Structure 1
Amino acid sequence: MLASIASRFSRMVERYLPDAFVIAVIMTLIVFFAGWLMNISTPMALIESWGEGFWTYLAFTMQMVMLLMTGMVLAAVPFISKGLEKLAGLSHGKKMPYVLVFLITSFAYFINWGLAVVVGAILAREVGKRNKEAHFPLLVASAYAPTVLYTAGLSSSIGLTVATEGHFLEDLMGVIPTSQTIFHPSTVLILIALVITIPVFIVLMAPKDKSAIIPFREGKSVFSGKKAKTDSGGSTPAKKLETTPVLGFVSGAIGLVFILSYFFNGGDLDLNIINLLFLSAGLFFHQSLGQFAGAFKEAATSISPIILQFPFYAGIIGLLGSSGLGQLIIDGMVSAASAGTFTVFSYWAAGFVNILAPSGGGQWALQGPLQIPAAIELGVDPAKTAMAVGWGDAWTNLIQPFWALPILSIVGLSIRHIMGYCILLSVWVGVLTSVLIFFLY
């Protein structure tokens, strides 16, 4: 029954859901007119808020661009691509492909969400190549589904923020160690429940009719992952510099030594280090700078949606913050909560705000100063409130096209191909997590 519902719902979404960029523009207009019609701010003030926030994600956009490109270039290294092929070869049958992609990507999300973006997309593509019984859109949805887990991982933006001395809410809630947030038994139990049930739900959505299965098609991917070809003609000094492995080996080794020193001195894993790691390893393992540059050029074809859409969501955050609309939304939900239901309402509020402003760190900057004082007044643990906001932020990533863009860019699909499955999955995640947060937080 679920497979039939998922198939019909997915077809409906494919027909009516516009491109992700169109969604970003429509959401911008919705937030703008909502702020205006509710007399929160004047049209000119709203326009100024949008413009001031438009480039907030500029540094983050470049980080994501480098993450995708360096990750894909690293995946094109011969021994790594062969390793992914062998791993993908384990996905026999009709159920294993989805489970394998989900579980491996979930592990990557626990380590670092930036790393997981590349791992999940490339693994889904490789599994799709080798298993024509797998419905490729659902396979990609399986790679994207673990995004709901990142708040309980080592790169949890909210969990790490409140554990950092000098964070902007330290005067209200103090510095909260990760033992009370990410590694708290309640958080671990929610994580385990989701890891067990989500792949079951995904498998139940898989098409049973062979005619409904859409297999992977090589032409649909914008990145082949194959070894880039270089011009080997001639033996001029310039060509020798391009094809010698020495320059790439040395420059990559310098980067890797720096990273080892960084971690040895107590450095934390973040996007910048992940990017430098991918870049250095790619230089180190590719056979020449020419080959590395060729792979980098091929990878560049996949990043245009990221560059185009990130600034528009930054503008929405500017609108929500400066206009007071974000505060109105959060206050409205939290005002209906009691001490026993506060964390659940915080979860729902975070999920709703995340649809409009998809950024864990940006959302905490907007929502934290409003929710933590209310939590303290009601006698609710600030650490549990912070994690409830984090789970809410991660929950509606399933129905927010913003975070799907990196994976979709690699596999060459549109948001409409996977969103039907993601929306149904978000219903299950929302219900299960709401119940667990109510009893555990």
Structure 2
Amino acid sequence: MFQRATRCSVRLVERYLPDAYVFVLIFTALAAIAALTIERSSPLELVRYWGTGFWELLGFLMQMLLVLVTGFILAKTPPVKRGLTWLASRCRTPRNAIVMVTLVAMAANWINWGFGLVIGALFAREVARHVRVDYRLLAASAYSGFIVWHGGLSGSIPLTIATDGHFMQDAIGLIPTADTLFAPVNLLIIALLVIAIPLINCAMTPSERDSVLFTPPEDVDAPPLARDASPAERLEHGWLLSVSIGVAGLVYLADHFIGGGLNLNIVNYAFLMLGIVLRRTPARLLAALQEARRRILPGLLRRRVSRAWPR
């Protein structure tokens, strides 16, 4: 019965849920209608408000982009990959795999939603190499971990209102994360979700006959530095300068946390410095940035045109 309800939900979502960009357009239109009917603004005033305020959140948007990019960089580091491979090797059954993927994704998303977004996908791929499990549910379990992100360490609103100079400071002031992210009620909700979501995902596990199985190809490592590499290439592949900068950044973080609090800038800074240290060389860091650019930037404003093609 539960699986029948799941299949029905999948069909509804596939048929009626548009791309996120469509929701942006819909909510923009709703806000415009509300301004015209409730606030009695004229159409010209409305356009002026919209055009003038279009870039006021540019700093916030850059912070959100950095959350995603720095999380991506850290998630693709060799130590993290080794940890995911080790965890995946401990999965024995499909249900065990679903629960493990869900828990790992939730933990990663609680730390940083950009980190969790990538970790969930990478771990699902790694688990699929070890266990015969429905790949659709495995992917869904990876993304279900996203449900805790806003109550975690990269929650955009709690961190923004804890950052000095945020765009609503005149109205609400600064609100520390102790009153939001680390409030008992928030921690209780997260604990309940950590218990409930893996059980729900596990209950949706189909039989092997109904499962869609897929074994992802193995990742290809980058080739080593050639013996006849130029001085510039040796600098790019040297670790001393890059790691020194990263360690200096981590020292600053330690000093900050002695008397300072958590905010969005500190979270991004921490992930960037950790990424620099764990990536070790400038070449590896830049390769991760290039991959992040290819995978992330097209998704910031996209339209899934493939859905218009006949199936």
Out of 233, 239, 262, the position equivalent to 1:245 is 239
Q: Which amino acid in structure 2 is aligned with residue 268 of structure 1?
A: G
Counterpart AA for 1:91: C
- 2:70 is aligned to 70
Query: How high is the TM-score relative to the length of structure 1?
Result: 0.56
Match of 1:142 in 2: 141
Q: Say whether 1:260 aligns with 2:254.
A: yes
Partner of 2:193: 194
What's the % identity of the aligned pairs? Answer: 35
Match of 2:288 among 285, 289, 295: 295
Q: Match of 1:298, as an amino acid?
A: E
Query: Where do residues 142-221 of structure 1 align in structure 2 (5 Å cutoff)?
Result: 142-150=141-149, 152-153=151-152, 178=178, 182-184=182-184, 186-208=185-207, 210-213=209-212, 215=214, 217=216
**Higher RCO (CA < 8 A, seq sep 6+):** 1
1:83 and 2:83 aligned: yes
Q: Which of 275, 282, 285 is matched with 2:278 structurally? A: 285
Q: Does 1:270 align with 2:263?
A: yes
Contact 2:102 2:141 (8 Å CA) reproduced: yes
- Contact 2:32/2:46 (CA < 8 Å) preserved in 1? yes
Q: 1: distance between equivalents of 2:54 and 2:115?
A: 26
Partners in 2 of 1:156 and 1:187 — Cα distance?
Answer: 12
More helix by share: 1
Whole-angstrom CA distance in 2 between matches of 1:237 and 1:76: 27
**Do the aligned partners of residues 87 and 226 (structure 1) sit closer, same or farther apart at CA in structure 2, a change above 3 Å counting?**
farther
Residue pair 2:77, 2:275 contacting (<8 A) in 1 also? yes
| Mapped contact 1:228–1:294 kept (Cα < 8 A) | no
Alpha-carbon distance between aligned partners in 2 of 1:163 and 1:290, rounded to the nearest angstrom: 35
Aligned-residue Cα RMSD (Å) equals 3.9
Deviation (angstroms), 1:150 = 4.6
Contact 1:111 1:154 in 2 (8 A): yes
Contact 1:3 1:207 in 2 (8 A): yes
Check whether the contact 1:228–1:295 (CA below 8 A) recurs between aligned residues.
no
- The corresponding residue for 2:95 is 95
Read off the aligned partner of 1:45 and give its amino acid letter.
E
SS in 2 for 1:29: helix
Contact kept in structure 1, 2:84 and 2:126, CA below 8 Å: yes
Structure 2's unaligned 5+ residue stretches are none
1: distance between equivalents of 2:65 and 2:233? 29
Moved more, 243-252 or 99-108: 99-108
Answer yes or no: is the 8 Å Cα contact 1:105–1:120 preserved in 2: yes
- Identify the residue that residue 124 of structure 2 maps to in structure 1: 124
Question: Using the alignment, how far apart are the partners of 1:251 and 1:276 within structure 2?
Answer: 12
Q: Secondary structure at the match of 1:303?
A: helix
Shift of 1:51: 2.3
Q: Cα 1:114–1:208, aligned 2, differ >3 Å: closer, same or farther?
A: same
Amino acid at match of 2:95: K
* Alpha-carbon distance change, 71 to 273 in structure 1, aligned in 2, over 3 angstroms: same
> Aligned-pair distance for 1:301?
0.9
Q: 1:86 to 1:134 in 2, by over 3 A?
A: farther
Sort the Cα spacing of 1:241 and 1:119 in 2 relative to 1 into closer, same or farther, 3 A.
Answer: same
What letter matches 2:138 in structure 1? L
Residue by residue, what CA displacement relative to the aligned partner does 1:201-233 show, whole Å, maximum 9, x if unpaired?
Answer: 222233346445364656xxxxx9764457637
**Could you tell me whether the CA contact under 8 Å between 2:154 and 2:267 is conserved in 1?**
no
Partner residue in 2 for 1:429 = none
Decide whether aligned partners of structure 1 residues 141 and 32 sit closer, same or farther in structure 2, where only a CA change above 3 A counts.
farther
- Whether contact under 8 Å (1:242, 1:289) holds in the other structure is yes
1:55 has 2:52 as partner: no
Structure 2 CA distance for aligned equivalents of residues 89 and 76 of structure 1: 18
Cα distance per residue 1:385-409 (max 9 Å; x no partner): xxxxxxxxxxxxxxxxxxxxxxxxx
CA distance in 2, matches of 1:151, 1:235: 46
Structure-2 change in CA distance of 1:279 and 1:261 (3 Å)? same
Distance across 2 between alignment mates of 1:79 and 1:181: 28
Shift of 1:85: 1.2
